[in-house]
Structure 1
Amino acid sequence: MQKLGVAAALSLVLTGCGSENPDAQASDTTSVTLMLDYTPNTNHTGFYVAQHNGYYEAEGLDVEIIEPGDNATTSMVAAGKADFGVSYQEDVTYALTSEDPLPIKTIAAIVQHNTSGFVALESMGIDSVKDFEGKTYAGWGAPSEEAVIHAVMNEAGADFDKLTIVGADGSGIAGLSDTTGPNKVNLGWEFYGWAVIQAQQAGYKVKYIPLSELDERLDYYTPVIIANDETLENDPEMVKKFMAATKKGYEYAIEHPQEAAKILHEDALPDTDLSFLEASQQYLSAEYARDAKSWGLMKDSVWNNYTDFMYECGLIDHKIEARDQYTNAFVQ
């Protein structure tokens, strides 16, 4: 007991001395939370590169990357539960035109063009949207989903009422069938850079119809980075630091897709096949900033086009200006 007492006393003395040591002062590092939209994938590579290569640390930031769980990222960022989040253009427009608008703004486009589209097995014989008639589509139930399908089918002269829509069971392309009938799913909506490439590597022969080729208004930003208005107003310097490091991470991934894929594999997806991640990354690295002066920049026309589409389809009851939905101030 006496020895313990001496040790405790010594510990207190050393602790007291340490508190006066200028080298032991509290760190100036700022803790930041980034909430993803889904489980980690190649849409998110730039974040993991920035973390792995020390870009955030160099800016004095300690960034925690978390998944959304049961709550929507957009509403969590609006509520101040995360400093930054990964969302989608349509979610932002919904949030800002709702009866009780959420205090958020988009601060960067992760990918410049919509890389999603409709997918079916080649053997199903679906060559165009007109061929959707008599088929079954499995979706996730978002309000914009049915409106998009209805609009593109109508534009193609197809009868939307002849398409059966059911809830997706999570099987994706592996669950698609080339025959119609009860319990048969023929169509899905997937991102090319992930689900389609993964299916092709698994030996599936698929027909992919990009949304951006069906209607120019559907070439919207997905995904995007969002922040709370209060954060943007009260701590713009932290936002600038976060975005400077994040942009550097995506620029690295653009220039070094194979190395970036290895970082994602090592730090976030060790159980995912590396050859698939490399193929996915090769595709997306070419898409991150395609047709843009630099990564992250956005245009009024893209925001206005999809806002018009949402309004025409009755998804929102009023329009909102592009400048009220995004800013390029942090990615210049």
Structure 2
Amino acid sequence: MRKFWLALILFCTLAFAQQVVVVLDWYPNTNHTGLYVALEKGFFAEEGLSVSIVEPAKMSAEQMVASGNAHFGVSFQEFVTYARAEGLPVVSIAAVIQHNTSGFTWLKASGISSPKDWEGKTYGAWGTEIEEAMLRTIARKYGVDWSKIKMQTVGQLDFVTGLRQRVFDFQWVFYGWEVIAAKLAGLDVEFLALKDIDEVFDYYTPVLITSEKLIQQSPELVRKFLRAVSRGYAYAKNNPEESARILLKYAPELDEKLVIESQKYLSTKYWEDSPKWGWQDEKVWRRFYEWMRENNLVPEIQIEKAFTNEFLP
């Protein structure tokens, strides 16, 4: 009889739950673990939410959220800034991790020990203007002749493959995914974090976003969503291996060893020096926005409207 009533309660909860769509920035990975943990552990259901997690298709996460095709999404500080500059009313509501874990990686055997050695080397480019602006800024800082860095656009070429085949000598990647993948593949690599090159590059990446419209019309929905998600990331922080296996349940195509090792690394990055999970500091947003403005990447906007801590539990 007890099982019957539990099943009935679960059925009624799901039947009357509010339908919510969350769009990722890319395919599922350990940046998203807290979302899947919240789904698997019933944290969303406890808030009365029936959540679908989808991957972006024809539209970006920012476009889907701004247009109302998704309630929430995964983005990055620079993408949110770009979106707002283009008139898309998206707002960052939480920082997934507190510090930028991306940087430049190269093989130790490449002859590179710092950006001073980039002259004459080939960079594996994603082909974005912000990427080139970063490289130019770093080249000036280290006294490197920009014209002597070779740019090779590689698109979606796998990082490990690119290094092995010497398609490029160095690339901008995330430590928690590509660098760990390279080490698991047996490559002897060096990593230089962007935040260690210049404080301006220690921005929030990734972040969770919603639209100004949803904030205005359904603020309680935003609060419910973040209550569940913060529990998901708290659980992932304290239970990295179990949480990695939850991610693998929903994305079995991922490499198991990579997911587990990546999660062990990222689980230490959620809080660090922040007062709570998800917290965003205005000086971080303003510092990187001003750098983007100085490099003619965006026009003048009200950057304080690009993020909020209001809905964090």
Is 2:227 aligned against 1:241?
A: no
1:173 & 1:308 partners in 2: Cα distance? 34
Q: Letter of the aligned partner of 1:84 in structure 2?
A: F
- Structure index of larger Rg: 1
Is 2:303 aligned against 1:331?
A: no
**1:1-332, aligned counterparts within 5 Å?**
27-98=15-86, 101-169=87-155, 170-176=157-163, 184-268=167-251, 270-321=252-303, 323-332=304-313
SS, match of residue 173 in structure 2: strand
Q: Deviations over 1:263-295 (max 9, x none)?
A: 111122x23332321111010000112111111
Q: Quick check: 2:98–2:272 contact (8 Å CA) kept in 1?
A: yes
2:286 & 2:12 partners in 1: Cα distance? 52
Distance 1:25 1:107, change over 3 A: closer
Which is worse superposed, 53-62 or 73-82? 73-82
SS, match of residue 330 in structure 1: coil
Q: Quick check: 1:308–1:319 contact (8 Å CA) kept in 2?
A: no
Q: Percent identity?
A: 41
Distance 1:274 1:317, change over 3 A: same
SS, match of residue 291 in structure 1: coil
2:139 & 2:302 partners in 1: Cα distance? 26
Q: Quick check: 1:124–1:178 contact (8 Å CA) kept in 2?
A: no
Correspondence for 1:15: none
Distance 1:238 1:194, change over 3 A: same
Q: Quick check: 1:254–1:288 contact (8 Å CA) kept in 2?
A: yes
Q: Quick check: 1:106–1:325 contact (8 Å CA) kept in 2?
A: yes
SS, match of residue 83 in structure 2: helix
Structure 1 unmatched runs, 5+: 1-22
Q: Quick check: 1:118–1:189 contact (8 Å CA) kept in 2?
A: yes
State the shift of 1:27 in Å.
2.9
1:26 & 1:46 partners in 2: Cα distance? 21
SS, match of residue 96 in structure 1: helix
1:209 & 1:221 partners in 2: Cα distance? 17
1:220 & 1:62 partners in 2: Cα distance? 31
Q: Letter of the aligned partner of 1:195 in structure 2?
A: E
2:67 & 2:154 partners in 1: Cα distance? 29
Q: Letter of the aligned partner of 2:25 in structure 1?
A: D
Q: Deviations over 1:29-81 (max 9, x none)?
A: 10000000000000000000000000001111010000012321111211111
2:246 & 2:179 partners in 1: Cα distance? 22
Which is worse superposed, 46-55 or 69-78? 69-78
Q: Letter of the aligned partner of 1:107 in structure 2?
A: I
State the shift of 1:178 in Å.
8.5
Q: Quick check: 1:124–1:177 contact (8 Å CA) kept in 2?
A: no
2:209 & 2:124 partners in 1: Cα distance? 29
Q: Deviations over 1:214-271 (max 9, x none)?
A: 1101000001011011001101111111110001000000111111111111122x23
Correspondence for 1:14: none
Q: Quick check: 1:174–1:199 contact (8 Å CA) kept in 2?
A: no
Q: Quick check: 2:33–2:233 contact (8 Å CA) kept in 1?
A: yes
Q: Letter of the aligned partner of 2:279 in structure 1?
A: L
